[in-house]
């Protein structure tokens, strides 16, 4: 049986109406076309209780497919829009309400003669408060009544009928919340450096193969440096001790006699003798 076009006002509206909410919008709030999505959504809220079940399903399908969007050749000329052509060939109240959400009546007035004969009147009254009164209807009811395609993707060219050279490769993709956003390739992950991969008791990390290879070498070098650097911390005042270390070096008594033979054998010479004696003992310990 052929479905007859709906009348206005609708003699047999589907109540409570199928719900259509912000979460069903495929355009994200930050997108430049978001205002068009809101106009189409509010138009449904106005007329949902004035539609048959078939009209409600049809409007939800068109809304979720983004058919209402206008741009380029359709921005200021309603006759170029796909909804306009649809009304010329197959009048439908849901289609007319959606088209009028984007254009003033004057822009679609050429359709009036045929549509008035079909619908009776083209007045779009605001029944938003009546729509909101049906608060017991779950949002999922509308989604279950409409067969939705999962993972749906659409480009601005297919939604707006734009030529390929004018699309700028902008893609709209529905995410988990139903919003559409422009997607870009994710950045390449950074490879952690050896310095950034430090294991701590609270945050243990497994080193990469390259770190396993290089770490022992670094530890060995650090160990060598610490051994070589140890004597520098104990370095005594500069003193030429090479004669004392040679096989033919003089004994302590000979060195003492030499110092005592200085012209002024004072207390300073005595202190020097003490220091020399301590030095000789240290040298003997090193040689042992």
DSSP summary character for residue 89: H
Write down the H helix ranges in the chain: 34-47, 53-64, 82-89, 93-102, 112-119, 128-133, 139-145, 156-160, 209-233, 242-245, 252-260, 267-287
pLDDT digits (tens, 9 = 90+) for 72-115: 889 889 999 999 999 999 999 999 999 999 999 999 999 999 99
Name 174's bridge partners: 180
Residue 192 has pLDDT above 90, yes or no: no
Other C-beta atoms lying within 10 Å of the C-beta of residue 119: 19
Q: What are phi and psi of 9, to 5 degrees?
A: -70, 155
pLDDT digits (tens, 9 = 90+) for 194-228: 444 454 444 544 444 444 444 444 444 444 444 44
Residue 179 has pLDDT above 60, yes or no: no
Q: What is the mean pLDDT of residues 233-249?
A: 49
Average pLDDT over the chain, rounded to an integer? 71
What whole-number percentage of the chain has pLDDT above 90?
42
Q: What is the mean pLDDT of residues 63-74?
A: 93
Q: What are phi and psi of 20, to 5 degrees?
A: -135, 120
């Amino acid at each position: 049986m052929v479905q007859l076009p709906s009348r206005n006002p609708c003699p047999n509206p589907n109540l409570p109406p199928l719900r259509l909410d912000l979460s069903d919008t495929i355009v994200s709030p930050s997108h430049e076309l978001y205002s068009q999505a809101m106009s189409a959504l509010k138009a449904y809220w106005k007329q949902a209780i004035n539609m048959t079940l078939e009209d409600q399903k049809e409007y939800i399908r068109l809304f979720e497919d983004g058919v209402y969007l206008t741009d380029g050749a359709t921005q200021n000329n309603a006759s170029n829009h796909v909804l306009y052509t649809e009304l010329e060939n197959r009048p439908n109240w849901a289609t007319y309400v959606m088209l009028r959400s984007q254009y003033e009546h004057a822009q679609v007035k050429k359709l009036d003669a045929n549509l008035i004969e079909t619908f009776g009147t083209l007045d779009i009254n605001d029944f938003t408060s009546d729509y909101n009164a049906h608060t017991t209807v779950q949002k999922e009811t509308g989604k279950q009544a409409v067969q939705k395609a999962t993972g749906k993707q659409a480009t601005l060219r297919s939604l707006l009928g734009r030529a390929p050279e004018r699309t700028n490769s902008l893609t709209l993709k529905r995410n988990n919340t139903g919003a559409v956003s422009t997607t870009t390739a994710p950045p390449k992950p950074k490879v952690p450096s050896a310095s950034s991969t430090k294991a701590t008791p609270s945050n243990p990390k497994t080193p990469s193969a390259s770190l396993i290879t290089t770490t022992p070498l670094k530890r060995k070098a650090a160990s060598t440096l610490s051994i070589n650097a140890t004597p520098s911390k104990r370095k005594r005042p500069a003193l030429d001790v090479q004669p004392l270390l040679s096989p033919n070096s003089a004994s302590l008594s000979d060195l003492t006699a030499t110092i005592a033979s200085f012209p002024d054998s004072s207390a300073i010479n005595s202190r020097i003798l003490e220091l020399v004696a301590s030095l000789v003992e240290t040298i003997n310990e090193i040689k042992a």
